[in-house]
């Protein structure tokens, strides 16, 4: 059986349980995605990661790479696709890996899960995990990408002001008051 | 010296380095914020977390609680305030903790860092860390909150279609094609 970023499958499953709380199928597939992407990045380069969904996949990146949501090396733009791009942090050149719905003919339970053809209760979880471990990277697609300029590098915060609305510190680039006081409702 | 969610300060600093990569001041303050919030939640209840910034603070939550970005128990709405809310996952009732700029008179280096009054090069990192460890939760504010309905519970994905643009699976709630094909540009 293969490895995921140098970890045995059992080790990685333990890491999933520790961090994510339970063995989510998306985390297991995500492990093979991260493994494939990193193997196709030039060695020794610093990379950042873009994740196209907020569900599961960001945790595979956070478990297996130095890139976390809070350190800014993992960015999430939730366009709802199960895909991740690894790119050189200064040039934006990299690879994108996605779960390919066209490659699921031999893996019916992965298809049922991925396309939500069955409810969670109807799914055969053991078979699903077995299919994922059998498929490894065979259900993935990969292509070279060039990240758009706006997503390369740190997002600079700029100057900090105290908001005249709530009195709290906020980045002045957001306007003459903080976004919460401008109408992003968080609390009743 | 105090503890952070049951960990010694040195243990927590080790956990920061392991996950986040370096000892960021925001992670250290974030530890005291998470500690204060959890101490003020009713014991035994399941809570979710809302983070009001994407910088540093989400990692303090991910290191110290079961809530991660990928499992959906941590949500980030980036309104640029250094604040975090812990709330009961079904009712939305909880507490919000923020770094209070009004409480920094005795901690000049924290103020310089927080309000960006000095560049990173000009900051005295050792003094900053010392001030944070001295201040503990004295620089924080806390208030009860009720989270808005839209941020309570799992965000349900609904039906999955294949996008006529890119051919990839996407949540049909996003429209007749995926958000990337609708114009959210990720790649050149």
| ipTM reported for the complex, 2 dp | 0.94
Nearest to A21 among B66, B180, B186 (CB): B66
Query: According to the model, what pLDDT value does residue B158 have?
Result: 86
Nearest to A101 among B78, B115, B168 (CB): B168
Note whether A13 and A23 are within 8 A (CB).
yes
Query: What CA–CA distance (Å, rounded) separates A93 from B174?
Result: 28
Let me know whether A144 and A166 are in one domain: no
Nearest to B178 among A24, A68, A79 (CB): A79
**Mean predicted confidence (pLDDT) in B99-108:** 97
- pLDDT at residue B3 above 90? yes
Rounded to 5°, angle at Cα B49 from B157 and B67: 75
Let me know whether A118 and A58 are in one domain: yes
Tokens 């020794």 -> residue: A44
Note whether B105 and B114 are within 8 A (CB).
no
Let me know whether A134 and A97 are in one domain: yes
Output the domain CATH number for residue B184. 3.30.60.80
Q: Do B101 and A162 count as a contact with CB atoms less than 8 A apart?
A: yes
Query: According to the model, what pLDDT value does residue B163 have?
Result: 97
Query: According to the model, what pLDDT value does residue A11 have?
Result: 98
Higher pLDDT pick, B45 / B162: B162
Phi and psi (nearest 5°) for B81? -100, 145
Let me know whether B123 and B181 are in one domain: no
CA distance B5 to chain A (A): 16
pTM of the model: 0.95
Residue B9: how many CB atoms within 10 A of its CB? 17
Nearest one of A53, A57, A9, A2 to A33, comparing CA atoms: A57
Residue B91: how many CB atoms within 10 A of its CB? 11
3-state class of B97 per DSSP? strand
- The total of structural domains in chain B comes to 2
Q: Do A85 and B179 count as a contact with CB atoms less than 8 A apart?
A: no
- pLDDT at residue A116 above 80? yes
Let me know whether A13 and A90 are in one domain: yes
Let me know whether B131 and B171 are in one domain: no
Give chain B positions within 8 Å (CB) of A96. Answer: 187
Let me know whether A125 and A174 are in one domain: no
Let me know whether B118 and B181 are in one domain: no
**Mean predicted confidence (pLDDT) in A23-39:** 97
Query: What CA–CA distance (Å, rounded) separates A107 from A128?
Result: 8
Residue numbers of the domain that contains B110: 3-151
**pLDDT tens per residue, range B123-178:** 999 999 999 999 999 999 999 999 999 999 876 678 999 999 999 999 999 999 99
Q: In chain B, positions 29-48, which contact chain A (CB-CB < 8 Å)?
A: none
Task: Please tell me the least confidently modeled range out of A117-121, A130-134, A154-158, B55-59.
Answer: A154-158
Q: Do B148 and A77 count as a contact with CB atoms less than 8 A apart?
A: no
Give chain B positions within 8 Å (CB) of A160. Answer: 114-116
Q: Do A50 and B186 count as a contact with CB atoms less than 8 A apart?
A: yes
A vs B, Cβ pairs < 8 A, gives 183
Output the domain CATH number for residue B26. 3.30.1330.130
Query: According to the model, what pLDDT value does residue A155 have?
Result: 67
Let me know whether B181 and B97 are in one domain: no
CA distance B1 to chain A (A): 26
Let me know whether B188 and B141 are in one domain: no
Average pLDDT value over all residues in chain A: 95
Q: In chain A, positions 99-138, which contact chain B (CB-CB < 8 Å)?
A: 99-102, 114-116
Instruction: Supply the DSSP string of B171-184, one letter for each residue.
Output: EGGG-SS-TTTTT-
Q: Do A60 and B76 count as a contact with CB atoms less than 8 A apart?
A: no
Let me know whether B181 and B113 are in one domain: no
Let me know whether B14 and B36 are in one domain: yes
Phi and psi (nearest 5°) for A176? -85, 0
Q: Dihedral angle at the C-alpha atoms of A89, A94, A99, A104, nearest 10 degrees?
A: -160
Query: According to the model, what pLDDT value does residue B13 have?
Result: 98
């Amino acid at each position: 059986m293969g490895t995921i970023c140098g970890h045995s499958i059992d080790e990685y499953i333990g890491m999933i349980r520790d961090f994510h709380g339970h063995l989510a199928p998306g985390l297991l597939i995500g492990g093979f995605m991260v493994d494939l992407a990193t193997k196709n990045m030039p060695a020794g380069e610093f990379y950042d990661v873009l994740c196209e969904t907020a569900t599961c996949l960001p945790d595979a990146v956070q478990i297996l790479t130095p890139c976390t949501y809070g350190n800014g090396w993992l960015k999430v733009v939730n366009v709802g696709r199960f895909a991740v791009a690894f790119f050189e942090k200064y040039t934006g050149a990299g690879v994108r890996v996605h779960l390919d719905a066209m490659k699921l003919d031999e893996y019916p339970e992965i298809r049922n899960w991925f396309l939500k053809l069955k409810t969670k209760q109807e799914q055969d979880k053991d078979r699903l995990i077995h299919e994922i471990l059998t498929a490894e990277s065979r259900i993935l697609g990969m292509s070279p990408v060039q990240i758009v300029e706006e997503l390369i590098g740190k997002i600079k915060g700029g100057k900090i002001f105290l908001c005249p609305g709530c009195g709290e510190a906020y980045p002045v680039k957001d306007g003459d008051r903080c976004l919460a006081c401008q109408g992003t409702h968080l609390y009743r």
